[in-house]
Amino acid sequence: KGCDKVFKESKHLKVHRMQHTDERPLKCDLCFYSCRQRNSMNWHMKSKHGMDKHVTPDGRTVYLANGADLISM
């Protein structure tokens, strides 16, 4: 069971499949928001919690209050 949509890139198919299952793997740590794509989470964190996305030297994504700097230890 499914639809006949065709995608050039497998990542787009993966996101599309999540629409059929209502899967939302990204969860906000500050509220009940969840989403399928990182860009949606980035928008949510900035617009709802006033936080910007930063990538740590080891590749993790963290969110900091607007204007805060990432400090490496």
Among 22, 25, 43, CA closest to 34: 25
The pLDDT tens digits of the residues spanning 4-22 come to 888 898 888 888 888 888 8
CB 36 within 8 Å of CB 52: no
DSSP H helix total and E strand total for the chain: 2, 4
Q: Identify the band that residue 73 occupies on the pLDDT scale cut at 50, 70 and 90.
A: very low
The pLDDT, as a whole number, for residue 1 is 56
Q: Which H helix or E strand runs over 14? A: helix 10-21
Top pLDDT among 41 and 71 is at 41
Burial class (CB in 10 A: 0-12, 13-18, 19+), 6: exposed
Mean pLDDT of 24-38: 92
Q: Identify the band that residue 39 occupies on the pLDDT scale cut at 50, 70 and 90.
A: very high
CB 16 within 8 Å of CB 5: yes
The pLDDT, as a whole number, for residue 21 is 86
Q: pTM for the whole thing?
A: 0.70
